[in-house]
Structure 1
């Protein structure tokens, strides 16, 4: 009977794991509740004993402290909101973000437990996600209005988008923001290259698909990260030694790529003369010519710090709707977003849980997975985009105990 119960429990865990994973990556929202089905599923899992499995005492207390600080911040934000500003509008603009941050903790510890305890794989699901995105990207090239009409099914508010131009209505797949999505696919590419170490032929396909997706988003940050992760794989080695077989492999790949371009040069001319690529190049050239690589974000940050005293938010914030001096501020950075939103203590807890290096991680994998998302968190908030945030949480949960899992397998 005990064996049957154990087998039944493993089947339940496996079903729940892949259901939650597929829902987070592929399925639309429950619009009437403004949530994903997997958010309800993971709560059920925690209520069925998952809290004791996933959290230790320290991590659970930090999570509870973060919840408490964020709730107090929302209440304080309501009290300090300017006269005439709707309390309902304030809550609607804040609840979504606070729910994403809370569920980041819940999903992180859920997936961390499952990867450690049951060794579930995400390779096929992530590969399917890349090709799912590729389908939408091709549709965006062929018929952008049809893409936006279909994408409407995945949006939370079912909002209609009228396509005007590629530089105005950029490709975002089914996530909320093109820069976030570009880093999502680079994170998946880095996962296959530096964590799973996919064989060269399959990795080449991942590189091509990733490049196509990134250039379709027209993201400058995404393209810079792609170039870094494509041309500098040696930088993630423990020792800066270049092996002969790696040199030969990259040399052969470069020669093969050049031959491919020469043979199919007519197709490449059509590709680079397309509206999407020319729009992307126009954006890249604009950043290079003005040397405004941050997209005016430094000016936004300086103005925010000058006009809203950050030291008033050491203990408690006032919600992620930053209202001060009779105006609304958009910080364009996850750091300021959380500090002003929930205070420096809550911000420190979030950074400690989701961006710090742990001894149970490999340094190569930390730099491969965490750094791209830290860059977009710094430059573009990230946490306002549910799907992008949760995909990062999944990748982080996979690598966070990788060293311990590997040592356990070697000791068997």
Structure 2
């Protein structure tokens, strides 16, 4: 089977490519990237006026399956991914049962392989049942297809437990992926601590809840030599700690989310529960720090923390509402907005969603090199579209951006050379 993508602006940061080229795909792999390739008997996709990139990679999502399929499942979640140009994603372990054993890993991977629209790479729990008591069988889980370890929204509170996890994972050169939060400092808070929380009468969460745990985990990474990856960094303080640790040679990486570089705590006004996150939306100073981190290399990836919730989980008082929003389908336009605002250039934006996350979790994707699997996103950067509940492919519709018009989207998404999404 042959397919030729013609006349697109090919942006492949892994190979320092940014020019108008054709891409020939044969039997699901990249066969040639060059100007004016002869189509021969290949099926032709005209990409003129569009950007052609490696399929995007989202290293922090919640697919909710097994156990919470009323919120999302692998079929709907990967369909949302494909609609957003995402061809590979990592799913967090807070399912029911928890991803801490091989049968659950195999179930997820098989369902994604045969019924999904994107590649799914499970992230296993650090501890059995995410209870922070007994380490999971890391070697076995890695052999089964997992790419890292996280207790997700449950920070490992015990420092000794975190040390042992880092030491054990480092024997496999696998990352420990953390939600950095001192839960004793959260103490029932539901938004960022500050003037807006006081005005709204909501209990706040201080920045130091994130900063103090980020600091502890960096010190343990420095002690053990293990790879620490910090999820959804939201504060200026944590980013500076990570920046300094990298300068010292500590093996630490981090990701930031579109909502943390696009929204401030002011989004909570009106008690919109789709603005309730963990970590919470912060101040403009923190947003500016996140944007700086994307530009200067402190941040290694943009990840959505795609968190589907049923309307009943959100349609309650703000303090009781579930945390998080869906993000797979709004990842591209929110990131392209950074390019329009000259925070980062296009190549850096694509790097943060392709080869950089692939490298830090050792995922064999994120490039258009000859011989690579033909996971491809074809993007119209100028197309404006309205975010609607009906238009989202996710089962859950908890997006802050419902009703807003965004600019930029995937028009076609290919997984191993097969079109898995096409926008009319």
Interval containing the TM-score (normalised by the shorter chain)? under 0.3
Larger RCO, structure (CA 8 Å, separation 6 or more): 1
| Rg (Cα) greater in structure | 1
Judging by fraction of residues, say which structure has more strand. Answer: 2
TM-score normalized with structure 2 length: 0.24
Judging by fraction of residues, say which structure has more helix. Answer: 1
TM-score normalized with structure 1 length: 0.24
